[in-house]
Structure 1
Amino acid sequence: MRCVHKILAIIMSSEGTEPEAQEQNYQKYKSLKKYQEAVDCLSAAADECQQTSNVNLENLISNCDNCVGLVQQLADKEDDRLRKFALQQLLTSVGHSLGSLKAKKDQLNKGHEPYVKDATSISTDNAADKHKTQRKLIVEDTIIRKGSISFQDVAGLTEAKEILREAIIMPIQYPHLFTGGLKPWKRILLYGPPGTGKSRLAQAVSKEINSTFYCVSSADLISSWVGESEKIIKELFHHATQQEGRSVIFIDELDSICRSRSSSEEEHTRRVKTELLRQMEGADNMASVEKIFLLCATNRPWELDSAFLRRFQKRIYIHLPDREARKAILHLNTASSSAVFSAEDLDSFADNTEGFSGSDLSNLILSALYEPVREVQKATHWKETTDGKFTPCDESEPDSIKQSMRDIQPELVQPRQITIQDFLKALCTSQGTISQAELHKFTEFTQKFGHCG
């Protein structure tokens, strides 16, 4: 598009396009008017191309089409060789773009690429294959391999883990148990405040099973091209049904694409929701729906459309960690630091962190773990340990050595062991991020629709 603007700028700045010439020669005035109309069409098309979403393909094609017609008329009547060459170059450039846009439109409307004759003679078969390959690559990029997180690495949430074992793990490991009227759950929604472990639970599921696990976000499903998002969703579920055994699709931040429908929302948004609902119910292949388990997570369940809520057989509230879970989180996050805490220390930590989410606690613990490192940087006196390393000490201690950290070889610097006091100190600058008003909304939703995990 930039090269097109440059070509038009050259043409309009050439001799014979000044206002005086318009008055002297009506034909030149008409030509100048067509030049301006072509610029306006091209500018409108360029503005549309800058859109990151909701691109109006019809408007884009219309502007390019009008520009081609105007430029063709100008080229036919132009006698100046330089201008005629520039107009022909412009015609080739816009014609190429127009052909691509029409091919894209036909692909979205009919599912295949028509033959479009333009300067580059676009190959329709190759274009169709390219788009199909791109959708397949998008889906395959969401597949994650077994991670290192297991259910044992997720503190608390005992009931949620049990439900996920019943819904996903047991049907895969013991399929003979689920016969007759007993069928495994197909769709489960995890909801709760941010940082409570919803995504971590999903990662743990991927380690526990030997089937294909898709981890999807709204960014993976939404395309700026109208109609392409629905095809990506369809490709995701189709790809999952082609795998051996039962596949698991995890969609995080579901509220970003499944908010309540309204009369004011855009048509393409409504089509995306409709396609996802169709795939959840196995509209294309009822037999294939048995091969897919859908696990979704959201921080704002009350914003979900009621049609989506109804389709989840279990809606599990992933609440803030309770007292015992907070102690377990402390153990998990300090396991590699060789820190030892007494029962009183753990009670003190649990008492002072009520209302913290799992993410809040992780940040608090990380801040506390930094305390010995901060002391190392400021230390002025050191003592040598039995293994030949140096650790900070008080200047009153026997055999203390006055020096800074820079005077010691880096590999010999040894910070002190972390204590519960470091956590209490970190609490002075750390607060929970979940308000009581938010918790009240989750409680109300759970009473109406949910199941406490």
Structure 2
Amino acid sequence: MSDSIKQTIKNDKQQVNRSRSPFQNCKTKIKEKQNVQQDPNQQIQNASKMIEMGMKYFQNQQYSMAKVVLINSSQVLLPIIKQKKQNEEDHTAEYQQLIKAISTAEICTQKIDQLQQSIASQDPYSKQIIETAMIRKCDVTFDSIVGLESIKNQLEEVIVLPNLRPDIFTGIRAPPKGILFYGPPGNGKTLLAKAVANQIKCCFFNVSASTLVQKHLGEGEKLMKTLFNVAFKFQPSVIFIDEIDSILSSRSSEEHEASRRLKTEFLISFDGMQTTDQDRIFLIAATNRPQDIDGAVLRRFTVKILIDQPDQKARLGLVKSLMQAVSHSILDIAFDKICEKLAGYSASDIKAVVKEACMQPLREDKITLVAMSAQNIRPVRKEDFEFAINKVKPSLTQKQYQEYISFNKSEK
């Protein structure tokens, strides 16, 4: 345990009712989870089971799994301890459990770093995957993604909860191995994948065609195999393959041998990536052209989710979120009408419209702009949005959108 944590424990025993959080100097940052309506005693029991499970993972040298479970148990305990302190109730047992979880999670972090360095030094392919594709920390959260509420709830069920309670999600309840995000470009497929990795505090592998397609014959399939092997060693992990149709398109007799071998290796590695119900390796793929993906690959994605264009509520939330830091004179009713005109726009299209509207005040007097105070810039008006909407058109045609709807219907 670090000196800062030891000092914190000592100070907290001396001053039980102090207002400052005793975990402010802890290296492992803990975010409180809102469990307002749940019974505190039941929460404590659940957290104790999670800590016990985390310690078993630690003893079995499954440091990544142990870290995820222990951090999530800490997120449950911390608000309960604070509440008990406010009510001047005894919280010694819960406090000791929390310190145990935090200190063990820190040891896990050190062990994971050592494992990463060891693997990278032994194999050049593993080193390439770790350096180019592995992301240890993602800052995107579900709360930072506007809209897509039903999809976020679905991801909570199929990925997040099974990682928090792997003892429950076994057998027929085991989570799916593959999830496919498809739909119009610019609607948050990559952000959702990163949010999932952040939600369960796991390793995230961001893979594209440039990572796996190599100029030398045989290099691509070796990297593909290594990708799944490294993900297995650092599980729980999420492998995200963006634009999967570019490397795993439908097979034909005219395709290059390297491409065919890469697809074959993917299918073999995918089928072997979860040997037991306790393994937690998830493959999330994203594509704008699901109809081009090879049938054998498509079949392995048991969960297919259409990331559709934002509806009126999502468009309104996105526009207001982007306009938070910008001075404007637009009323709520005007925002509603603006967002109605943005029907058919993707999230990235809407961002382009808002950017164009916000640039209009700056274009009125470019000569004095350099010397002008930021407070003297004219607020954005409704007319600026009308100009921007006329200038920035949707990136997706109605015909293209109907292709996604047709594919979605065929998969139901």
> 1:405 and 1:273, CA in 2 relative to 1: closer, same or farther beyond 3 A?
closer
Unaligned segments of structure 1, at least 5 residues: 1-128, 379-403
Larger radius of gyration: 1
* Kept in 2: contact 1:139–1:232 (CA 8 A): no
Q: Which moved more, 1:218-227 or 1:164-173?
A: 164-173
Who is 1:88 aligned against?
Answer: none
Q: 1:160 aligns with which of 151, 167, 182?
A: 151
Alignment of 1:135-146 (within 5 A): 135-146=126-137
Q: Does 1:256 align with 2:218?
A: no
Provide, for residues 248-304 of structure 1, a one-character-per-residue CA deviation record: whole Å limited to 9, x for no partner. 101000000111111111112111000001111117x73499331000000000001
Q: Does 1:351 align with 2:340?
A: yes
Alignment of 1:106-125 (within 5 A): none
Q: Does 1:420 align with 2:382?
A: yes
Alignment of 1:267-416 (within 5 A): 267-282=257-272, 286-287=275-276, 290-339=279-328, 341-377=330-366, 404-405=368-369, 408=371, 411=373, 414-416=376-378
> 1:176 and 1:287, CA in 2 relative to 1: closer, same or farther beyond 3 A?
closer
> 1:259 and 1:289, CA in 2 relative to 1: closer, same or farther beyond 3 A?
farther
Who is 2:215 aligned against?
Answer: 224
Q: How big is the shift at 1:148? A: 3.2
In the alignment, the residues of structure 1 paired with residue 337 and residue 200 of structure 2 have an alpha-carbon distance, to the nearest angstrom, of 38
The count of corresponding residues between Structure 1 and Structure 2 is 293
Provide, for residues 166-195 of structure 1, a one-character-per-residue CA deviation record: whole Å limited to 9, x for no partner. 122112223233134311122100000111
Who is 1:233 aligned against?
Answer: 224
Q: How big is the shift at 1:152? A: 1.9
* Kept in 2: contact 1:195–1:358 (CA 8 A): yes
Q: How big is the shift at 1:141? A: 2.2
Q: Which amino acid aligns with 1:367?
A: E
Who is 2:256 aligned against?
Answer: 266
* Kept in 1: contact 2:129–2:226 (CA 8 A): no
* Kept in 1: contact 2:241–2:284 (CA 8 A): yes
> 1:329 and 1:413, CA in 2 relative to 1: closer, same or farther beyond 3 A?
closer
Secondary structure, aligned partner of 2:147: coil
**Taking every aligned residue pair, what percent have the same amino acid on both sides?**
36
Provide, for residues 289-321 of structure 1, a one-character-per-residue CA deviation record: whole Å limited to 9, x for no partner. 933100000000000111011101111111111
Q: Which amino acid aligns with 1:270?
A: R
Q: Which amino acid aligns with 1:249?
A: I
Secondary structure, aligned partner of 2:239: strand
Q: Which amino acid aligns with 2:183?
A: G
Q: Which amino acid aligns with 1:332?
A: S
In the alignment, the residues of structure 1 paired with residue 134 and residue 374 of structure 2 have an alpha-carbon distance, to the nearest angstrom, of 44
TM-score by length of 2: 0.67
Q: Which moved more, 1:202-211 or 1:219-228?
A: 202-211
TM-score by length of 1: 0.61
> 1:288 and 1:173, CA in 2 relative to 1: closer, same or farther beyond 3 A?
closer
In the alignment, the residues of structure 1 paired with residue 186 and residue 374 of structure 2 have an alpha-carbon distance, to the nearest angstrom, of 37
* Kept in 2: contact 1:167–1:186 (CA 8 A): no
Unaligned segments of structure 2, at least 5 residues: 1-119
Q: Which amino acid aligns with 1:263?
A: S
> 1:340 and 1:289, CA in 2 relative to 1: closer, same or farther beyond 3 A?
farther
